[in-house]
Amino acid sequence: MHVMDKVVFEIEDNAALTADVMRMRLRGDASAVKRAGQFVNIAIDGLYLRRPISVCDFTADSLTIIYKVVGEGTSRMAAMRRGERLDILTGLGNGFDAEHDCRRPLLVGGGVGIPPLYRLAKDLVARGRQVTVILGFNRAEEVFYADEFRATGAEVIVTTADGSYGRKGLVTDEVRDREGGFDYFYACGPVPMLRALCEATPADGEMSFEERMGCGFGACMGCSCKTASGSKRICKDGPVLRRAEVIWE
């Protein structure tokens, strides 16, 4: 039993990366965050349920999250300022397995599924892996964090659906072209992208999924999904599932 205390974080900064994607940096005890791909659950005044957001990067006493403004919760987050305090549950979910035995991992991210891959790229490079990252967006104005990914030491390819930045096309076009050039993949993005990825390559890998959550820590069974190894809770047994477990519905 490890007892996690209530943690209050203070906002260091909260700035727009694109028209509707924001980055919030927070200071507070993040020691419960252990792996890339875990998430935090943020209490927002006036809203009943917390908002689960993936962790982009962390240290023992800081957190970086990147979120897209899509609804009431994220709109309120977008209006928050430096110095405001937030009640956050941290260290939730399983996260990616950066220890997986591979030499040339491929990281594939789509849109707001990209942030958790940032810390993963850093961890994999630090482990001496030859890392390739493919980031997919619709158009140039939506692109964020390409330079930050490049700074990790990974090879970075950006695709846009309309060709206004990087390679024109989908991440899966790039994946097909690189078949044989990677021996494992890590992915996060919309389900149609994840599914297309699995159709594009026979390689093994792991993917992070999203679902509407009640609690975020495994108690309410609100986010269950069927997998080849039985029912799993996206919040507690996920959000990362191994390819062989995934059942596409």
Partner 1 sequence: MDRYSAVRRLYGNRDMAESTKYDLSTHLCGVRLDNPIIPASGTFGFGGEYDDFYDINILGSVSLKGTTLHARFGNPTPRIAECRSGMLNAVGLQNPGIDAVIAEELPRLRSRFRKPIMANISGFSVEEYTECCRRMDSQEQVAFIELNISCPNVHNGGMAFGTSPEAAAEVTRAARRVTTKPLIVKLSPNVTDIVSIARACEDEGADGLTLINTLLGMRIDIRRRRPVLANTTGGFSGAAVFPVALRMVYQVAGACRIPVVGCGGVESAEDVVEMMMAGASAVEVGSANLHNPYACRDIIENLPKVMERLGIERLEGIIGAAHRG
- The reply to whether 248 sits near partner 1 by the rule CB under 8 A is no
The strand pair at 205-208 and 184-188 is best described as parallel
- The reply to whether 222 sits near partner 1 by the rule CB under 8 A is yes
Q: Is 100 helix (H, G, I), strand (E, B) or coil?
A: coil
Q: What angle do CA 143, 91, 10 make, to 5 degrees?
A: 70
* Tokens standing for residue 106: 């491929």
- The reply to whether 228 sits near partner 1 by the rule CB under 8 A is no
Phi-psi region of 169 (alpha: psi -120 to 50; beta: other; left: phi over 0): left
Q: Least separation, in Å, of the C-beta of 165 and partner 1?
A: 27
Task: State the CB neighbour count (10 A cutoff) for residue 13.
Answer: 12
Q: Least separation, in Å, of the C-beta of 207 and partner 1?
A: 17
The site that binds partner 1 (CB under 8 A) totals a number of residues, namely 28
Closest Cα to residue 24, out of 32, 14, 9, 34?
14
Q: Which of 214, 228, 229, 244 binds partner 1 (CB under 8 A)?
A: 214
- The reply to whether 224 sits near partner 1 by the rule CB under 8 A is yes
- The reply to whether 192 sits near partner 1 by the rule CB under 8 A is no
Q: Least separation, in Å, of the C-beta of 180 and partner 1?
A: 36
- The reply to whether 43 sits near partner 1 by the rule CB under 8 A is yes
- The reply to whether 150 sits near partner 1 by the rule CB under 8 A is no
- C-beta closer to partner 1: residue 18 or 227: 227
Q: Which residues contact 46 (CB under 8 A, 6 or more apart)?
A: 76
Given a contact cutoff of 8 angstroms between Cβ atoms, the answer to whether 66 and 115 are in contact is yes
Query: Rule CB under 8 A: which residues touch partner 1?
Result: 1-4, 6, 43, 47-50, 89, 211-215, 217-226, 231, 236
